[in-house]
Amino acid sequence: MSTTKTSAKKRTDTRLIAQHTALGLDAEGYIHHLDRDAGVVHRIDPETGARERRSDLAAWVAQRDHVALGNAVNVYVHEYIGGSDGPGWVDRDPTNRDVFGGAF
């Protein structure tokens, strides 16, 4: 048995959630894809793979006085797409706040 202390390297990467996350498919047939580090949601045509729209969440939040940046994804998911003025969701993937019980 060795008396030499062996320790694992310290991890500096503490990411617990994925950088890229699918948010779901809206009623108009577009896929919504979140790039967390860039703070951008891409709306993609699944047939062509073309990006139909790019929503910068920081700019989007700046236009709405009731939305904090930390809650922007949830408001995008529930109000902007799923709200009465949005197209609605056909199939929605849960966000990290859904999984960890965040408020909407």
Q: What is the pLDDT of residues 51-103, one digit of tens each?
A: 999 988 888 777 777 776 667 887 888 878 888 888 999 998 876 554 434 44
CA–CA separation, 102 vs 81, rounded Å? 18
State the pLDDT at residue 104: 35
DSSP letters spanning 59-73: HHHHT-TT--GGGHH
Say which DSSP state 20 is in. Answer: E
Statement: residue 27 has pLDDT above 70: yes
pTM surpassing 0.85? no
Q: How far is CA 72 from the centre of its chain?
A: 9
Statement: residue 12 has pLDDT above 90: no
